[in-house]
Structure formats: C-alpha cells, structure tokens
C-alpha cells in the first residue's frame, strides 16, 4: 500500500512539474503564459494560467470587445463622433494627445487604441458608451463574469496601474477569443502596421511588432508598466487555424515577443484542425405509429476537431443509429452518435439527432389506418 501511495505521489508531482518543464523546453520567459486555439477554445499549453497578475494595456481587449459588441448590435456606428473630455485627455501614458472637446470618429479612436494603445481614446470611448469611465468599468466586470473570467477584476478601461486591477493568462485568452471569434472586423484595426490620423498629422506605428515580423499575425494587444512588466495577447492564423498566445510579466519587450512566437510556433507545428466527415450518408430511421413513416437524421453541434497533426491524418468515423423509433419523436432528439477515432484514441463523439418532429398517431388515426389496410387487403 505504501509503495502504491508513493507511486501516486510521484506521478502527481510529475504532472505538477510538467508544465514548468515544458515551458523551459519551449523557452517561454514569463511569469504566466497560455496557448489557446480559437475555434474550439481548447488550451494547448499553459503555465500559471490562473495566477492573478496586472495586465497593463492588455486590459483594452475588454474595452475593444464592448465597443465592437455595441457596433455589431447597431447601438454604435463607426462614423459616430466621440468628444474627448478633460478626464480622457488627462490619462497620460500611451496616447494620441487628444485635446478637450476634440471630436474623432469611433473608427479613428478604435484605430488609435489597437495600433498605439491610446489611453485617452480608450477612456473617451468608454465615456461615450456608458456615460462615465466608472459605469463602463462596471460593464467590463459584468462581461468578464459572463465569459467565465473568474480571476479578473477591472478598475479602469486602460490598464494603467490601479490597486486590485488584475486578471490571468487564462482570462485574457477567454476575452481575446470572444473578440476575434465573434467580431472578426476588429482585424481591420489590429493588423495595421503603420497609419495616421488627423489627415496625416499624427503617425501611428503598431506596438505589436509581430504584425510586421511574424507570418500570419492578426493581433492583438500589447501592454507594459513597471509593475506588470511586459504583457501580450498575440493572435496568428495559418492554414485556417487561429491561435491565441498570452504572455504575462515577461522581463523585457523582446522576451515578450519571442516567447509568444515560441508558443505560436509550437501550436502551428504540432496541431491542426479537421472536420469530422460522415463515413456514409445517414439513412432515415423508421418510426412506429408516427404521422410520418420515418425521420431524417443530421449531426448536431460542432464538427471541427483539434488534434495533433499525425492524428488528424489517420482519423476514422463510425456511426451508430437506432434501428427504429417509437413515436412521438422530437426535433433535435438524439437518435445516434458518430465516434471519431485515430489510432484507437477517441477524438470526438458527435450526437446524431432527428431533423424533424414526428407526432404519434391518435387512436382514431390508428383505427382508420387499420381499416384502410383491411379494405385494401380484402
């Protein structure tokens, strides 16, 4: 018994040490990191992913998310004019030097936030949407709760140093995924390398160097302060797969970008996306005592599979269906499953469901059917 317990403890210690060992092997130099695939939301790699740390301007991903949600819902337009308040103009740090009462379109302010991490524009957009920065922060924290960001507490829309303003690598990945998955138009701004505002008078150069120097880079947001050190949520897409690499508290700016590249390179080299394909057309299933003789079948839910590339190449699918169903049958009722495997390992189990409802015949309808059959037989 003691030998068994010792073995279990050794295994648990090995599992606990595995992420750190992998991080060292991957040369990730940061306090916390995480790699996530966008479509499935699956975490491919993580170290200290739930440790609460200051995110600096990576905070602005939530600010951008709320702005994009307002735009996509129709409550805000790109060409709406935003007026800068004295408070917004007083932010300091990264900015485009807005002047009090200066007006700029939502589109131009979004560009300034995405490209040069403008604190003044972040607060101006927050005030425009919610009436005040404080009210906007309430919306930020509410949305964080809805996304399951349990390690997060926002105090401002910018990420400037503030007591209690914390998040985690995991939570940053969650809000990054929500932004790029459901609001793809943000890529118009996050992929800009150089641009300008105010009719060319204000030049912009992206703080995210990966946009210029990493193949497939699509964003997303940098951040740095004396306390947070160097942070990044980096996104990149290759061969139809987009990855999110989060780096928190890297010692230098260069290490931040290099560490993100290490994570992204690892993900693109090792993993891929495939789609579960039906091995044969799904045949309708007969229905007993139904107002229709059979019901057609379809796969339910996501059929995209994330797996190691060698496993994707050897994927196989097997279908199991009910031979017959008793009425009533509900639309969406599970009537079978498709199991996707590779090398004996199950990669996914996809429900197969009825496409339409089939009601049960009434006693009178059953009697009528019996009479018709008897008459025809006679």
Average pLDDT rounded to a whole number, residues 337-365: 92
Q: Please indicate, yes or no, if residue 266 is contained in any of the structural domains.
A: yes
Q: Please indicate, yes or no, if residue 53 is contained in any of the structural domains.
A: yes
Can you give the CATH number for the domain in which 296 is found? Answer: 2.60.410.10
Measured from the Cβ of residue 207, the count of other Cβ atoms closer than 10 Å reads: 18
Residue 289 makes CB contacts below 8 A (sequence gap 6+) with 326, 327, 360, 361, 366
Q: How many Å apart are CA 26 and CA 23, to the nearest integer?
A: 5
pLDDT higher than 60, residue 378: no
pTM: 0.86
**Judgement on whether residues 265 and 294 belong to the same structural domain of the protein:** no
**Judgement on whether residues 180 and 238 belong to the same structural domain of the protein:** yes
Residue owning tokens 């780096």: 247
Pairing of the two strands 32-37 and 43-47:
antiparallel
Q: Considering the candidates 30, 85, 117, 259, report the single residue annotated as catalytic.
A: 117
pLDDT in tens, 283-320: 999 999 999 999 999 999 888 999 999 999 999 999 99
Instruction: Retrieve residue 57's tokens.
Output: 């301007």
Residue 139: phi and psi, rounded to 5, are -65, -35
pLDDT higher than 70, residue 17: no
Which helix (H) or strand (E) segment is 275 a member of? strand 271-275
Is the separation of the CB atoms in 127 and 110 below 8 Å?
Answer: no
Give strand pairing partners of 329.
358
Catalytic residue list contains 294: no
Dihedral (Cα; 219, 224, 229, 230), 10-degree rounding: 20
Q: How many Å apart are CA 165 and CA 374, to the nearest integer?
A: 79
Q: How many Å apart are CA 144 and CA 37, to the nearest integer?
A: 19
**Judgement on whether residues 295 and 263 belong to the same structural domain of the protein:** no
pLDDT bin (cut points 50, 70, 90) of residue 367 is confident
**Judgement on whether residues 138 and 176 belong to the same structural domain of the protein:** yes
Q: Please indicate, yes or no, if residue 18 is contained in any of the structural domains.
A: no
**Judgement on whether residues 263 and 306 belong to the same structural domain of the protein:** no
Pairing of the two strands 304-308 and 271-275:
antiparallel
pLDDT higher than 80, residue 346: yes
The structural domain count of the chain equals 2
Q: Considering the candidates 38, 60, 249, 261, report the single residue annotated as catalytic.
A: 60
**Judgement on whether residues 184 and 113 belong to the same structural domain of the protein:** yes
Q: How many Å apart are CA 184 and CA 195, to the nearest integer?
A: 20
346 is in which domain, residue-wise?
Answer: 285-364
**Judgement on whether residues 352 and 322 belong to the same structural domain of the protein:** yes
Look at 13-27, 48-62, 81-95 and tell me which has the smallest mean pLDDT: 13-27
Q: Please indicate, yes or no, if residue 136 is contained in any of the structural domains.
A: yes
Average pLDDT rounded to a whole number, residues 122-144: 98
**Judgement on whether residues 316 and 233 belong to the same structural domain of the protein:** no
**Judgement on whether residues 191 and 307 belong to the same structural domain of the protein:** no
**Structural domain ending residue among the three candidates 218, 239, 270:** 270
Q: Considering the candidates 57, 85, 233, 342, report the single residue annotated as catalytic.
A: 57
**Structural domain ending residue among the three candidates 270, 297, 318:** 270
**Judgement on whether residues 98 and 175 belong to the same structural domain of the protein:** yes
Residue 80 makes CB contacts below 8 A (sequence gap 6+) with 105, 106, 128
pLDDT in tens, 5-14: 333 333 333 3
**Structural domain ending residue among the three candidates 202, 235, 270:** 270
Q: Please indicate, yes or no, if residue 16 is contained in any of the structural domains.
A: no
- Predicted pLDDT of residue 18: 38
Q: How many Å apart are CA 189 and CA 23, to the nearest integer?
A: 31
Q: Please indicate, yes or no, if residue 141 is contained in any of the structural domains.
A: yes
- Predicted pLDDT of residue 78: 98
Residue owning tokens 């200290």: 48
- Predicted pLDDT of residue 170: 98
Chain-wide mean pLDDT for the chain?
Answer: 91
Q: Please indicate, yes or no, if residue 12 is contained in any of the structural domains.
A: no
Q: Please indicate, yes or no, if residue 300 is contained in any of the structural domains.
A: yes
Catalytic residue list contains 57: yes
**Judgement on whether residues 252 and 294 belong to the same structural domain of the protein:** no
Can you give the CATH number for the domain in which 162 is found? Answer: 3.40.710.10
pLDDT higher than 50, residue 20: no
- Predicted pLDDT of residue 13: 36
Measured from the Cβ of residue 283, the count of other Cβ atoms closer than 10 Å reads: 11
Give strand pairing partners of 288.
326
**Judgement on whether residues 292 and 157 belong to the same structural domain of the protein:** no
Give the helix ranges, DSSP H, for the chain: 2-25, 60-73, 86-89, 106-116, 119-130, 133-146, 169-182, 187-190, 210-213, 253-270, 309-313, 363-377
For the sheet with 217-225, list strands across it.
43-47, 32-37, 241-250, 229-238, 217-225
How open is the CA angle 366-370-373, to the nearest 5 degrees? 140
Catalytic residue list contains 99: no
């Amino acid at each position: 018994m003691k030998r068994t317990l010792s073995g279990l403890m050794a295994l648990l210690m090995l599992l606990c040490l595995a992420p750190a060992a992998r991080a060292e092997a991957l040369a990730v130099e940061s306090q916390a990191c995480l790699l996530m695939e966008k479509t499935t939301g699956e975490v491919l790699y993580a170290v200290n992913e739930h440790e609460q740390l200051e995110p600096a301007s990576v905070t602005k991903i939530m600010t951008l998310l709320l702005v994009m949600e307002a735009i996509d819902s129709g409550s805000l337009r790109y060409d709406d004019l935003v007026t800068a308040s004295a408070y917004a103009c007083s932010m300091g740090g990264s900015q485009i030097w807005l002047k009090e009462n200066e007006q700029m379109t939502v589109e131009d302010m979004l560009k300034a936030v995405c490209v040069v991490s403008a604190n003044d524009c972040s607060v101006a957009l927050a005030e425009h949407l919610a009436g005040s920065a404080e009210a906007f922060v309430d919306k930020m924290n509410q949305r964080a709760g809805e996304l399951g960001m349990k390690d997060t507490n926002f105090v401002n829309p910018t990420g400037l140093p503030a007591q209690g303003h914390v998040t985690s690598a995991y939570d940053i990945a969650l809000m990054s995924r929500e932004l790029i998955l459901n609001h793809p138009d943000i890529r118009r701004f996050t992929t800009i390398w150089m641009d300008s505002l105010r009719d060319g008078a204000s030049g912009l150069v992206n703080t995210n160097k990966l946009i210029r120097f990493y193949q497939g880079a699509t964003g997303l947001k940098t951040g740095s302060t004396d306390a947070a050190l160097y942070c990044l949520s980096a996104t990149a897409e290759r061969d139809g797969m987009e990855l999110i690499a989060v780096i928190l508290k890297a010692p230098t700016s260069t290490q931040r970008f290099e560490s993100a590249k290490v994570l992204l390179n690892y993900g693109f080299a090792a993993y891929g996306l495939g789609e579960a394909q039906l091995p044969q057309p799904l045949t309708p299933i007969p229905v007993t005592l139904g107002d229709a003789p059979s019901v057609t079948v379809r796969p339910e839910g996501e059929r995209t599979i994330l797996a190691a590339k060698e496993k994707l190449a050897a994927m196989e699918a097997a279908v199991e269906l009910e031979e017959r169903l008793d009425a009533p049958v509900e639309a969406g009722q599970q009537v079978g499953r498709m199991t996707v495997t590779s090398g004996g390992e199950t990669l996914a189990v996809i429900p197969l469901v009825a496409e339409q409802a089939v009601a049960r015949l009434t006693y009178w309808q059953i009697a009528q059917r019996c009479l018709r059959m008897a008459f025809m037989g006679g």
